[in-house]
């Protein structure tokens, strides 16, 4: 687009040309130019008319059923789903411009063949675990000391899951079900209408309208990815949007319950286990739909009592506490570890029987495991 200065300069040139004195030879030259231009225009019109007539005649001779000169239709399909080296969906186009799932248009069995075997994984209370969402390097360093590993669905390759399975471990695959993260390969699947306000403190992440049919279709595709990569279950985060008024979406507890049940039904249809993430106020309501609770800081926030319904039902509560920096010391003695974890696993806090681990806020490989009681 031309700048204001460019436009002013162009106007000044036009005015200067219009104000030039008209000499006799100039008039003659202008008249000759006009005649030449008119002749050229007439010849161009005649040539165009002849060419058009030939084209129409050839078009009628081809007998195209579609009536199109080319006889072909434009490709309007979405990019097909492919899997990159980490086992995540990829596309030949930019992930933030296009949706990598070619079959996202409908919900209800079209993305996978549902099963009803009721044979999905069902861990018991007290199961040990490790969660790594921000590894020190490209891939998490695993020590194989735990029964369950909670790892990122997109970033961790399927080969890591297979390695864990070969050692008798279970894999819980993390993804955010209640927010759109602009670094994910399927971010382009979400429309502007699907997204609410940003999550405080998390650049590039926005709350999602969880009752949107499009959002739910994306989650079905993610569950299909979990099946494809070999996850035993999924850890859907940020399902407690009702408890965060900052999202400006007006979500309610009823919306959250409906969404959790939708995710659980879809996961179970794919033979995947599924858990509740935080959302303590609806824990008892959705208890029968999920296999576990993943919680953050219920001891610090004095909220553990509302998750005890899982322990009573024989289901695990995978609890994370983020200790102060002076607690993060790899040189702890066993007595010091028990003492410090005892503050977190005291029965008076309501965390008795929880599978509690101490983690850094970045959730890397560092971990301290607390006693169950």
For residue range 178-190, what is the model confidence (pLDDT) as tens digits?
Answer: 999 999 999 999 9
pLDDT for 76 equals: 23
Higher pLDDT, 266 or 321: 266
Query: Dihedrals φ, ψ of 8, to 5°?
Result: -65, -40
Least confident interval from 167-171, 174-178, 232-236, 335-339:
335-339
Residue 301 binned pLDDT confidence (cut-offs 50, 70, 90): confident
Rounded Cα gap, residues 151 and 174, in angstroms: 6
Higher pLDDT, 151 or 137: 151
Higher pLDDT, 345 or 206: 206
Rounded Cα gap, residues 178 and 259, in angstroms: 10
Rounded Cα gap, residues 148 and 129, in angstroms: 5
Q: Do 237 and 178 meet the contact criterion of CB atoms below 8 Å apart? A: yes
73-107: per-residue pLDDT in tens? 323 222 333 444 445 554 333 344 589 987 775 54
If we measure between CA atoms, which residue out of 287, 303, 233 comes closest to residue 295? Answer: 303
Higher pLDDT, 173 or 86: 173
Calculate ∠ Cα 366-233-277, nearest 5°: 65
Rounded Cα gap, residues 310 and 124, in angstroms: 10
Residue range 302-321: average pLDDT?
Answer: 94
Q: What separation in angstroms does the CA of 319 have from each of 41, 228, 364?
A: 81, 28, 16
23-45: per-residue pLDDT in tens? 333 333 333 333 344 444 455 55
Residue range 312-334: average pLDDT?
Answer: 82
pLDDT for 82 equals: 43
- Sign of the dihedral through C-alpha 262, 265, 268, 274: positive
State both tokens at 338: 């028990």
Q: Do 174 and 225 meet the contact criterion of CB atoms below 8 Å apart? A: no
Residue 327: other Cβ atoms inside 10 A: 18
Least confident interval from 40-49, 52-61, 303-312:
52-61
Higher pLDDT, 176 or 372: 176
pTM for the full predicted model: 0.72
Query: Dihedrals φ, ψ of 215, to 5°?
Result: -60, -45
Least confident interval from 16-30, 270-284, 330-344:
16-30
DSSP state at residue 199: P
Q: Is the pLDDT of residue 62 over 80?
A: no
pLDDT for 307 equals: 95
Rounded Cα gap, residues 134 and 150, in angstroms: 11
Average pLDDT, rounded, for the chain: 76
If we measure between CA atoms, which residue out of 187, 236, 264, 223 comes closest to residue 111? Answer: 223
Q: Is the pLDDT of residue 7 over 80?
A: no
Q: What is the largest CA-CA distance in the chain?
A: 110
Rounded Cα gap, residues 270 and 49, in angstroms: 63
Q: Do 43 and 63 meet the contact criterion of CB atoms below 8 Å apart? A: no
Q: Do 93 and 323 meet the contact criterion of CB atoms below 8 Å apart? A: no
Higher pLDDT, 207 or 302: 207
- Which DSSP helix (H) or strand (E) runs through 330? none
Q: What separation in angstroms does the CA of 103 have from each of 77, 79, 194, 287?
A: 9, 9, 18, 32
Q: What residue ranges in 186-288 does DSSP mark as E strands? A: 195-198, 205-208, 233-237, 273-277
pLDDT for 25 equals: 32
Third-level CATH fold of 82-369 = TIM Barrel (3.20.20)
pLDDT for 70 equals: 31
pLDDT for 88 equals: 52
Higher pLDDT, 87 or 138: 138
Residue 1 binned pLDDT confidence (cut-offs 50, 70, 90): very low
Residue 154 binned pLDDT confidence (cut-offs 50, 70, 90): very high
151 forms beta bridges with 132, 173
pLDDT for 23 equals: 31
Percent of the chain with pLDDT over 70: 64
Give the up-direction half-sphere exposure of residue 262: CA atoms within 13 A in the CB hemisphere: 21
Q: Is the pLDDT of residue 108 over 60?
A: no
If we measure between CA atoms, which residue out of 262, 286, 266, 265 comes closest to residue 276? Answer: 286
Higher pLDDT, 17 or 360: 360
Residue range 240-250: average pLDDT?
Answer: 87
């Amino acid at each position: 687009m031309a700048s204001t200065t460019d436009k002013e300069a162009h106007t000044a040139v036009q005015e200067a040309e219009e104000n030039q004195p008209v000499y006799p030879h100039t008039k003659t030259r202008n008249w000759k130019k006009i005649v030449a231009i008119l002749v050229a225009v007439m010849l161009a019109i005649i040539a165009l008319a002849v060419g058009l007539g030939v084209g129409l005649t050839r078009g009628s001779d081809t007998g195209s059923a579609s009536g199109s000169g080319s006889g072909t239709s434009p490709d309007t399909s979405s990019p097909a789903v492919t899997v990159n080296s980490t086992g995540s969906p990829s596309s030949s186009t930019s992930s933030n411009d296009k949706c990598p799932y070619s079959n996202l248009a409908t919900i209800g069995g079209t993305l996978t063949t549902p099963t009803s075997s009721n044979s999905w994984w069902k861990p018991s209370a007290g199961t040990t675990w490790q969660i790594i969402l921000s590894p020190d390097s490209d891939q998490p360093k695993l020590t194989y000391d735990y029964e369950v590993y909670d790892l990122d669905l997109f970033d961790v390759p399927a080969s890591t899951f297979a390695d864990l399975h070969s050692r008798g471990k279970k894999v819980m695959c993390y993804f955010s079900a209640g927010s759109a993260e602009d670094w994910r390969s399927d971010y382009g699947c979400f429309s502007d209408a699907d997204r609410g306000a940003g999550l405080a403190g998390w650049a590039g992440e926005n709350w999602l309208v969880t009752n949107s049919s499009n959002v739910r279709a994306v989650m079905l595709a993610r569950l299909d990815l979990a099946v494809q990569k070999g996850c035993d279950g999924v850890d859907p985060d940020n399902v407690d949007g009702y408890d965060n008024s900052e999202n400006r979406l007006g979500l309610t507890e009823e919306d959250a319950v409906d969404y959790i049940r939708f995710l659980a039904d879809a996961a179970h249809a794919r033979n995947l286990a599924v858990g509740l993430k935080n959302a303590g106020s609806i824990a008892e309501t959705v208890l029968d739909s999920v296999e576990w609770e993943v919680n953050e800081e219920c001891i610090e926030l004095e909220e553990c009592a509302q998750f005890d319904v899982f322990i009573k039902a024989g289901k695990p509560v995978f609890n994370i506490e983020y200790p102060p920096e002076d607690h993060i010391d790899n040189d702890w003695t066993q007595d010091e570890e028990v003492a410090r974890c005892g503050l977190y696993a005291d029965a008076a806090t309501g965390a008795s029987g929880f599978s509690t681990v101490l983690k850094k806020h970045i959730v890397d490989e560092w971990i301290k495991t607390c006693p169950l009681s």
